[in-house]
Amino acid sequence: MALQNILNLEKIGKITRQNGYQDLLNSIATDIRTKHRRRIQRQNELESTRHTLSQLEEKAEFLKEQLAQYETVIDQNKKTMQTNKGYRLQSFTTNYRTKKTPLPFTKQYFHVRDLQRSGRMPRFGSYKYSATRLVEKGILVGVQHGRHSEKLHLTISSDDVGVFLMEMTSSQYNEDVQTGSEEIKLEDLLQLQYLSLL
């Protein structure tokens, strides 16, 4: 096997028999002479790798603790935002503070009344808007095909901290028929707002 390997090295021009394979002998002597130094070098590299790994583990543990603290603070803030009596779901037509009781005989008044009568009133409120109004305010980009937008309504409600339910309904024969719904988390809304600022 050794002779076969020597012939293979000779074929690729690494060594030659013309000098009695002296290049091969020199390489073997160099390996023997530097074996101890290379062993120390490998040990140092291994120790450095272990030290780096230990630091990364400590850093990961620190970041994990930081993340847990941030999540706790965020959850507390979300709960405070929604349970504080002075704050409710943001109204698109007013500022952040909204009246607790809607004005009589308004669309919002009848919406809240129907929810209360049916026992389906969300813990953190529910708001109903016409698609036409939301398009005028620039909140909706538009309504598909632009038809019957006056009969489409968007309801935004929240029954859990940091989670909003958006429902689209269409008025047909004096009844609201749900045409779609989507549950959106506060983090997703904040992410969308952040992306829109980029």
Strand order in the sheet with 126-130: 126-130, 152-160, 163-172, 175-185
Find, among 121, 124, 119, 189, the residue nearest to 161 by Cα.
124
Task: List the domain boundaries for the chain.
Answer: 2-51, 107-197
pLDDT for the residue 56: 93
pTM of the model: 0.43
Mean pLDDT for 74-82 is: 72
H helix or E strand, kind and range, residue 118: helix 107-118
**What pLDDT, on the 0 to 100 scale, is given for residue 147?**
55
Backbone angles phi, psi at 13, to 5 degrees: 80, 15
DSSP H or E run through 170: strand 163-172
Strands 126-130 and 175-185: unpaired
Residues 94-98: what's their mean pLDDT? 39
